[in-house]
Amino acid sequence: MATVVPGLKIGKKIGNGHFGEVFLGQDSVHGEVAVKVLSRKSGQSDPEWDAHKKSFLAEAQNLSKARHANVVQVYSIEELPGGDSICFCMDYCLKGSLQSAYDAGPITMLEVRKVATEVCLGLDALHARGMLHRDIKPGNILLDANGVAKLGDFGLVTDNLILGYGSQVGYSDHIAYEVWQGEGTSARTDIWALGMTLYRLLHGKTWYELAPAPRDVVEHGRFADTLQWLPHIPKAWRRSIRKMLNDDKTQRYQSAHQVLNALSTLPTPLWATTTAQNLVRWEQLVGNRMRVIEWATHTPRKHEWKAWSEPLAAPGRKMTLGGSNGLISKKQAMRELEEFFSK
């Protein structure tokens, strides 16, 4: 362990971010903290690094002011001896980011709405201070020990980075249409990124990666119309997310406050969903029975689905609830499943 600033001890590495490595730390004032160390990239010239450093340090003043229950608090920012690294000392969020939950599969609508609501409360506070996040994505939403979502890594991305160097997978997928057209970022590009994040959380990594990457298609326009939805996602959710992803920024929700109102009316049927390459499975507990739906893809053109309920522990028999009449097309399977879920 090395002492970086008086009272701060850096421990084990707990993650890697776009901007550097993250370590667990012990701060004499705040106790357990996360310490992010941003280092000069190889090949970065002196003027480039100086410009980066200057913008990071300038942002530091804003970051330390952004106190909110749903924003990761930054306690201090220091330039390390030698001048090639900057060290951020911030809240340690015990449950980590939503990246691993997203990687594991679709998250329930109830959980996504809770996360989205908490993120909006934090985002609203940042926007009210004239700040932008610019990098909303599952990996930047952190859960504290109580499971409360907090926005992390805000203010670290600059317009230059988005327009010039945004290359990390996942990151450039969240760039809004107008930014691809050369406009700068705004509160409404944060809302686009939030919409993209919600879509990803509802569908999970496997489903998300079946479609062309947004970084390749958003700039061509009408991205929201190309989204492929899992059939259990209700129309109200689709409408809200499409609105966040509207090419015309004036047609999006204009503020986090408006998104909060939209979220409050969304239904949250509790389907636990798992997705694999050729099978999607939904489960829902109803009393002492489990409702199960399976959608199998035999070939790209041959699909099949079936739904049944089965007893959990008590004796009982399996009951068929519905299904496709043999092998059907993907389009028909989607349509039938959407109809089944909407009942």
Rounded to the nearest whole angstrom, what is the least distance from the CB of residue 55 to another protein in the complex?
Answer: 25
Here the tokens at position 28 are 């004499």
Rounded to the nearest whole angstrom, what is the least distance from the CB of residue 122 to another protein in the complex?
Answer: 9
Cβ closest to another protein, residue 94 vs residue 236: 236
Cβ closest to another protein, residue 86 vs residue 187: 187
Distance (Å, whole) CA 33 – CA 142: 13
From the list 27, 91, 124, 135, the catalytic residue is 135
Distance (Å, whole) CA 213 – CA 75: 36
Residue type, 24: L
CB 168 within 8 A of CB 181: no
Rounded to the nearest whole angstrom, what is the least distance from the CB of residue 281 to another protein in the complex?
Answer: 24
Rounded to the nearest whole angstrom, what is the least distance from the CB of residue 167 to another protein in the complex?
Answer: 35
Rounded to the nearest whole angstrom, what is the least distance from the CB of residue 114 to another protein in the complex?
Answer: 7
Q: Which residues pair with 89 in a beta bridge?
A: 35, 76
CB 8 within 8 A of CB 28: yes
Cβ closest to another protein, residue 55 vs residue 186: 186
Cβ closest to another protein, residue 238 vs residue 281: 238
Cβ closest to another protein, residue 93 vs residue 109: 109
Write the burial class of residue 36 (CB in 10 Å: 0-12 exposed, 13-18 middle, 19+ buried): buried
Active site residue 135: yes
Question: Hey, is 50 helix, strand or coil?
Answer: helix
Enter the DSSP assignment of 11.
E
Classify the phi-psi angles of 12: left when phi > 0, otherwise alpha if psi is within -120 to 50, otherwise beta.
beta
Distance (Å, whole) CA 45 – CA 145: 41
Counting every residue written for the chain, the total comes to 343
Half-sphere exposure of residue 57, counting CA atoms within 13 Å on the CB side?
12
Binding residues for another protein, rule: CB under 8 A, are 68-69, 110, 113-114, 117, 121, 124-125, 128-129, 257, 260-261, 263-268
Distance (Å, whole) CA 226 – CA 203: 15
Distance (Å, whole) CA 174 – CA 223: 12
Cβ closest to another protein, residue 71 vs residue 244: 71
Distance (Å, whole) CA 165 – CA 160: 7
| Catalytic sites, residue numbers | 135
